[in-house]
Amino acid sequence: MALLTGAPRGTKDVIPAQVYKWQYLEDTLRRCARDFGFTEIRFPTFEHTELFLRGVGDTTDVVQKEMYTFQDKGGRSITLRPEGTASVVRSVLENSLYAAGLPLKVWYMAPNYRYEKPQAGRLREHHQFGVESLGSASATADAEVIGLADTFLSRLGIQTVALRINSIGCPKCRPGYHEALRAYFNTHEEKLCPTCHERLERNPLRVLDCKDEGCRGVAKDAPHTTDHLCTECAEHFEKLKSCLSAMGIVYTVDTRIVRGLDYYTKTVFEFVTDCIGAQGTVCGGGRYDGLVEALGGPSTPGLGFGSGLERLLMVMEASGVEIPKPDGCALFVAAIGERAQSEATLLVHKLRRAGVAAEQDTMGRSLKAQMKYADRIGARYCAVLGDDELDAGEVKIKDMTTGTAEPCALSVEAIASYIKQK
RNA sequence: GUGGGUAUAGCUCAGUCGGUUAGAGCGCCAGUUUGUGGCACUGGAGGUCGUCGGUUCGAUCCCGAUUAUCCACCCCA
């Protein structure tokens, strides 16, 4: 078959046979957000490019080389959203949502676009569930957000993820740390890989995360962020750790965690797995106390996370989580002959209007083929309608799982109540 | 952006040391007598062997390019 064109690189269709998995995942996430007191927010798929330059940070890879940016017919520079947080903050400011009282706790589920080279767990269009909590500077808010992530992961039956946390400090203490880090790495420069020489300039934190053997050796004894925090940041981090422990949430402090978005301050965290390939971060986020102000709003602390739906489904798949399939056809009405055919059409239509998921043949198949079809689509019950039944005013309703049949009066009401009572 | 693997039926894959009509399993459709699915058996439909070019008497197979896809780096969800 010559196909005109395939789907764009890095995008994925969700075919009918698979949607139930997405629906299950989405329902679970929605319920979890509600239980934690978060409400949904929706925003456009594209924004002014400026928002991301300032919000995400114009030195980040996401902004520098991964954005889908174009000029619209009005000459505006528009960008397809590469991540959700900037849009949320923009919407909050634009609609003065903070005026209704703080904290403001919102969640979203939306596609993101990044021009990347696709691989396992990495797409050009991917979907994220994310939450943002604005207004509280307290570590309790951090614990609440992390607690929400921990909860939905466990509700989804995902056990193969580990929580890693770190604190990367604030604008007060971070420069000092960066200096200490640069000074340390400069004394070992000859052992670092070429990419890390670049990293040293842009973001020395990244060197800590390099997988190169030489870099690992050097990074092992590098100064830790946590040793260079100002008292405020250090106290915040301690408070978070004790909150998590009190909540029974297992974590490890990983001083190599660095996030690629500029707005993070203090707490950063990741839930990672090793069962879906190299892109193992299933949920990542942190605090961004300077972001709201950077986007022109009042100085407001906040934090949040993003979680990739495709990756969550991959982990669920890899760890054998069984996702319940929704009910399909409740009653298949097989018809023999033209008279029964049109009676069946009427019957099925009325049953559907009465709330019964009924089906009939539209392919002109033989009775046997109709039965086969009913079986294939997973019909719970099946009724054969022919001249005999029409004359007698009664049909046999066959239970497709047991193979036994019971008689029922040939009326919409009788059949509907028979199916519903089961 | 860099590197490696792969490309044959709807799906998972064989195969041709280069030679006539390219196969299997699963799936789909039909039949195995007259009004009943799952099991079994039989048959059928379905492929320009990713695309373009080169070598050759001859290419699905060898070579080159291109595209797609998978995986890793980078980065992130």
**ipTM (interface pTM):** 0.89
Mean pLDDT score across all residues of chain A: 92
Mean pLDDT (whole number) for A187-193: 81
Supply φ then ψ for residue A32, to 5 degrees.
Answer: -65, -45
Q: Which residue has the tokens 């949430």?
A: A249
User: Hey, what amino acid is at A118?
Assistant: P
Contact A334, A43 (CB under 8 A): no
Which positions on strand B lie below 7 Å from a protein C-beta?
1-3, 10, 28-31, 35-38, 47-48, 68-77
Mind listing the pLDDT tens digit for each residue in A312-370? Answer: 999 999 888 999 999 999 999 999 999 999 999 999 999 999 999 999 999 999 999 99
Mind listing the pLDDT tens digit for each residue in A123-167? Answer: 999 999 999 999 999 999 999 999 999 999 999 999 999 999 999
Calculate the angstrom distance between C1' of B31 and CA of A402. Answer: 26
Calculate the angstrom distance between C1' of B58 and CA of A1. Answer: 27
pLDDT at A378 > cutoff 80: yes
| Residue A3 pLDDT class (50, 70, 90 cuts) | low
Supply φ then ψ for residue A303, to 5 degrees.
Answer: -160, 165
Whose C1' is closest to the CA of A308: which nucleotide? B77
Whose C1' is closest to the CA of A375: which nucleotide? B37
For residue A206, what are the CA distances in angstroms to A211, A216, A258, A267, A327?
11, 12, 7, 16, 49
Residues with Cβ within 8 Å of residue A411, at least 6 apart in sequence = none
The stretches of A36-83 forming alpha helices (DSSP H) are 49-52, 61-65
Calculate the angstrom distance between C1' of B71 and CA of A276. Answer: 12
Q: How far apart are CA A365 and CA A331, in angstroms?
A: 17
pLDDT at A199 > cutoff 80: no
User: Considering only A4-8, A184-188, A199-203, A305-309, which range has the smallest mean pLDDT?
Assistant: A199-203
pLDDT at A61 > cutoff 50: yes
pLDDT at A240 > cutoff 90: yes
| Residue A400 pLDDT class (50, 70, 90 cuts) | very high
Mean pLDDT (whole number) for A291-305: 95
A37: left (phi over 0), alpha (psi -120 to 50) or beta: left
Whose C1' is closest to the CA of A366: which nucleotide? B35
Contact A244, A144 (CB under 8 A): no
Amino acid whose CA is nearest the C1' of B71: A119
In 3D space, the residue among A283, A274, A379 whose CA is nearest the CA of residue A334 turns out to be A379
Calculate the angstrom distance between C1' of B34 and CA of A361. Answer: 22
Mind listing the pLDDT tens digit for each residue in A383-394? Answer: 999 999 999 999
